[in-house]
């Protein structure tokens, strides 16, 4: 029962920071496309970089409470995090490309749809690969 409370608390924190990360991503994207007139692909990449940096910090510190004692652990988690986020960037770009170029959906609506898929993918990879208990216990 206690483990379910911990998991539910973790999922709640992930959801909160996931929403904030998504806001960083979408607001950056809107600024770049609507104010600076960037192409949607370039804006997606820049928005991704901003949101990944925000997400790494908040996931490590607040969601998964990963307090590494060695620099190598921190570097490994950061590079794993970036690797999986690169995969999610590909998912993000693929969803956007297909929905915009083939289904002619609005780019902002498509961005929101893509972010839902990406958030689910990111939780799974962070929980089981980047900030797993196994990774945190390695000295």
pLDDT digits (tens, 9 = 90+) for 55-84: 999 999 899 888 887 889 889 999 999 999
Condensed to tens digits (0 to 9), the pLDDT of residues 99-130 reads 999 999 999 999 899 988 988 898 899 988 89
| Signed CA dihedral, 94, 92, 124, 5: sign only | negative
Q: Give the pair of three-digit tokens for residue 12.
A: 């709640």
Q: How far apart are CA 101 and CA 107, in angstroms?
A: 10
Predicted structure pTM score: 0.70
The backbone torsions φ and ψ at residue 132, rounded to the nearest 5 degrees and listed phi first, read -65, 155
């Amino acid at each position: 029962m206690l483990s379910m409370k911990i998991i539910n608390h973790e999922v709640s924190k992930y959801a909160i920071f996931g929403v904030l990360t998504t806001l960083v991503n979408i607001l950056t994207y809107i600024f770049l496309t609507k104010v600076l007139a960037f192409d949607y692909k370039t804006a997606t990449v820049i928005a991704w970089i901003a949101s990944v940096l925000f997400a790494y910090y908040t996931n490590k510190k607040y969601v998964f409470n990963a307090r590494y004692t060695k620099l190598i652990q921190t570097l490994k988690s950061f590079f794993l995090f970036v690797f999986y986020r690169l995969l999610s960037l590909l998912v993000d770009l693929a969803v956007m490309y297909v929905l915009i170029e083939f289904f002619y959906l609005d780019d902002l609506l498509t961005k929101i749809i893509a972010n839902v898929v990406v958030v689910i993918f990111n939780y799974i990879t962070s929980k089981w690969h980047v900030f797993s208990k196994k990774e945190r216990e390695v000295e």
